[in-house]
């Protein structure tokens, strides 16, 4: 974690210290009084329904050494060492950028419409075979989270793998200029955030902002199966002497998939463009194998041999609720993919389920896909059209938008095999009424649908 004096931090954020001695030592940063630790710098964030400045005194009482303080919030609490700044969030970002400049750390930035968290986990696992690695935790990938992740590093960190999320234009540009990555990865361009960015081209432009902070001579690793990236690259701001590696399913890429096979607990593949070595990841799905190619490219960039890269991929531990295989108390299998959903990730999850063998019936549980803009009905109906009785046995839809999915799928299925629900309790009861120990259930939906609640019910229930 960052360890600097009060005076040094004031200088790093271009702020003015008050109520404190310049020699006061500050250790670490927190924006939450519930997790504040002794010696922390408290950062008061201003939200739509709260103002962190209201809790600055409490943070100090809980052990914070000092606080940032936004100038337009009046005087800091009496007796609380404070660094007065024009904007507390901008000061946090400036502090992270300055701290990053002071460390010899090498950084990998990862973004994409889908798969960025799993890809980040795979890259970190590969690099950890040789380096001391720091990686993004949870969903700390935005304008607050990424600075906090940088400020958690210390002088022993050799490489940081930082996820970069966004909701609109300019956000990844901000994050990449804070982090200044040596290597940047774009996993794919999907449909998430269409309501804000207008088109898939707009999404691609926003993702390619990651190149704006890429260091001179840096590496760009991207999904070469996406023509939008290649078409937009010539007009995208990028560093001099940048090199690129394209990965994907097509043999036109520098790295591509060969000989893909799935077992009960993972996926094996041979990366075209390298040797004949078979790699294994403890993840189900062809789409995850595609993103493993990006991790291979990053490992090679950092001088790792194939044996070490393969060992890292085999040892990786994915973040939860992303094709998480669970065994229910009653014996059936649940694939928990309830962290988020978009048309692209939902299609990938359905392909995975269709390809799996060794199970009885295949049951699909789909929640709404959010943030799709004016085309949301069409996207949900298109998913419904992919649901056919030769591949899946039951379809359960939950949420107002998923009603379109059910309506689209229903004509192809026997009566009673496609159902739509407004209440999770009824959804859960109906699934448990038909599920048998040999069956497998896929649960997929956007984070706002909270379908992990249904997952918990399925896993805990006894038939």
- Give residue 196's pLDDT: 75
Q: How confident is the model at residue 463 (pLDDT cuts 50, 70, 90)?
A: low
Q: Over range 270-285, report the average pLDDT.
A: 94
Residue 251 CB contacts under 8 Å (≥ 6 apart), including other chains? 272
Asked if pLDDT for residue 18 goes beyond 90, the answer is yes
Question: Looking at residue 96, what DSSP letter applies?
Answer: H
Domain layout of the chain by residue ranges: 3-87, 103-315, 324-460
Asked whether residue 461 carries a pLDDT value surpassing 80, the answer given is no
The tens digit of pLDDT for each residue in 158-192 reads 999 999 998 889 999 999 999 999 999 999 998 87
Pair of tokens at residue 339: 């962290």
| Separation between Cα atoms, residue 274 and residue 265, nearest integer Å | 25
* pLDDT of the residue at 167: 84
| Long-range Cβ contact pairs of 173-177 (< 8 A, separation 24 or more) | 173/209, 173/212, 173/213, 174/93, 174/143, 175/109, 175/141, 175/142, 175/143, 175/146, 175/210, 175/213, 176/109, 176/209, 176/210, 176/211, 176/212, 176/213, 176/214, 177/97, 177/212, 177/213
How does pLDDT run across 112-155, given as a tens digit for each residue?
988 999 999 999 999 999 999 999 998 899 999 999 999 999 99
Superfamily of domain 324-460: Mur ligase, C-terminal domain (3.90.190.20)
Superfamily of domain 3-87: MurE/MurF, N-terminal domain (3.40.1390.10)
pTM of the model: 0.87
Phi-psi group of 319: left, alpha or beta (phi > 0 → left; psi -120 to 50 → alpha; rest → beta): beta
Reply yes or no on whether the pLDDT at 193 is more than 80.
no
CATH level 3 topology of 103-315:
3.40.1190
């Amino acid at each position: 974690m960052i360890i600097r004096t009060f005076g040094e931090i004031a200088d790093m954020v271009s702020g003015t210290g008050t109520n404190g001695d310049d020699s006061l030592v500050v250790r670490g940063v927190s924006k939450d009084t519930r997790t504040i630790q002794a010696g922390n710098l408290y950062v008061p964030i201003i939200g739509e329904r709260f103002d962190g400045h209201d809790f600055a005194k409490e943070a100090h009482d809980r052990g914070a050494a000092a606080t940032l303080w936004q100038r337009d919030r009046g005087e800091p609490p009496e007796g609380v060492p404070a660094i007065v700044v024009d904007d507390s969030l901008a000061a946090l970002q400036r502090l992270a950028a300055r701290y990053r400049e002071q460390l010899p750390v090498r950084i990998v930035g990862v973004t994409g419409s889908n798969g960025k968290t799993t890809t980040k986990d795979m890259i970190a696992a590969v690099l950890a075979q040789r380096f001391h690695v720091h990686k993004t935790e949870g969903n700390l990938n935005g304008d607050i989270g990424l600075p906090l992740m940088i400020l958690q590093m210390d002088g022993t960190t050799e490489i940081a793998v930082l996820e970069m999320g966004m909701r609109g234009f300019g956000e990844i540009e901000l994050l990449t200029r804070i982090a200044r990555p040596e290597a940047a990865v774009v996993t794919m361009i999907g449909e998430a955030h269409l309501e804000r960015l207008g088109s898939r081209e707009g999404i691609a432009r926003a993702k390619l902002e990651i190149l704006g902070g890429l260091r001179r001579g840096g590496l760009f690793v991207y999904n070469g199966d996406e023509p939008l990236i290649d078409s937009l690259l010539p007009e995208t701001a990028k560093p001099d002497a940048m090199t690129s590696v394209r990965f994907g399913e097509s043999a036109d890429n520098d790295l591509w998939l060969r000989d893909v096979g799935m077992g009960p607990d993972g996926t094996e593949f041979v990366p075209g463009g390298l040797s004949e070595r078979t790699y294994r990841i403890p993840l189900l799905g062809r789409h995850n194998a595609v993103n493993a190619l990006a991790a291979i490219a990053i490992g090679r960039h950092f001088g790792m041999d194939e044996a070490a890269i393969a060992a890292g991929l085999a040892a990786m531990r994915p973040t939860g609720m992303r094709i998480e295989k669970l065994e229910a108390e009653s014996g059936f299998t649940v694939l928990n993919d309830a962290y988020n959903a978009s048309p692209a990730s939902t299609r990938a999850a359905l392909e995975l389920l269709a390809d799996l063998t060794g199970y009885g019936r295949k049951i699909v549980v789909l929640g709404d896909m959010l943030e799709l803009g004016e085309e949301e009905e069409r996207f949900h109906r298109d998913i419904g059209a992919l649901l056919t009785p030769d591949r899946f046995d039951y379809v359960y839809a939950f949420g107002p938008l998923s009603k379109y999915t059910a309506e689209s799928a229903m004509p192809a299925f026997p009566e009673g095999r496609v159902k739509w629900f407004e209440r999770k309790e009824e959804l859960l009861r109906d699934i448990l009424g038909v599920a048998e120990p040999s069956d497998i259930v896929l649960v997929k939906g956007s984070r706002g649908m909270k379908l992990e609640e249904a997952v918990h019910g399925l896993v805990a229930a006894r038939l």
